[in-house]
Amino acid sequence: MVKIKVNYHIAATKSYFLLLICALMYSHCKNRKEFKQDFYNHSNKIKSEGYYLNGKPNDTLKRFLENGKINSIEIFNDKGVLNGESHYFFKSGHLSEIVNFNNGIESGKYISYRENGNLEKILFMFNGKRIGDAYFYDERGILNFYNFSDFGNQGLLLCKYDTTGKLIKEDGDFYFVDSMSIQKGLKETDTAKIFLLISHRPQTSLSLWVDNISKDGKIIDTRELNSKKELLFFNDLLPQNTDSIRIRGSRFDSLSKVTKTFIIMHNIN
């Protein structure tokens, strides 16, 4: 009778590594990106092409009309959800819309064109709603209306222009809409959470600052904000002895050569 000595420790180690390799191979196959093309049945022309991950669109997906013209170019994240800047086209192949998405929800700048290639409108979207700047153009692509709306899409500023682009009517005069909350911190250090929805009226330039003010009215510190953004969110760490926050804007009108200022005060105590 022959006795066989088995090293169970070595056998278990080999089994572990074998299982690990199989798991890695399965994970690699499961998460592998594949390039796919879909075709129209009767013409055999390309209907769509792009990368897929786990059966869902990933990265860039192009769709085509049966005449061969591009229909859309969409960007998807790893979950197969629209994310980023997508482009949509007329049947002629001319660009129709540029739409920005954030995890499947329309957020960011929206631009639409007429079939002749001229601008139709430029909007700002946030969580699927239109807020802030809105520009509307006539058939020649000349600015006709500018509208600025608050967080609830209530119109605050309306500018109307003639056929040469000259301002002929202005209802309201807004620079920004703000929303602020105070979060109490440790060691008497508080934080102000500030949202600013900023107006970018045509033919004007805007500068914005935030000041922390003491009880005796002195400026403790100040910071200049990026006024080029449509929506600005930031945390303002409040120095001790801060009694109020002042948000001030200065807007220069290139047509009238006039500079106007606008101030909002928030008491924090």
Count CA atoms closer than 13 A to 42's CA, side-chain side: 2
Can 33-171 and 176-267 be said to share one CATH topology? no
The domain ranges of the chain are: 33-171, 176-267
Chain-centroid distance of CA 59 in Å reads 17
Alpha-carbon span 210 to 224, nearest angstrom? 7
70-122 pLDDT, tens per residue? 999 999 999 999 999 999 999 999 999 999 999 999 999 999 999 999 999 99
How would DSSP label each residue in 88-122? Answer: EE-TTS-EEEEEEEETTEE-EEEEEE-TTS-EEEE
30-72 pLDDT, tens per residue? 568 899 999 998 889 999 999 999 999 999 999 999 999 999 9
Does the structural domain 176-267 have CATH classification 2.60.40? yes
Q: What is the CATH number of domain 33-171?
A: 3.90.930.1
In the structure, what pLDDT confidence band is assigned to residue 180 with cuts at 50, 70 and 90? Answer: confident
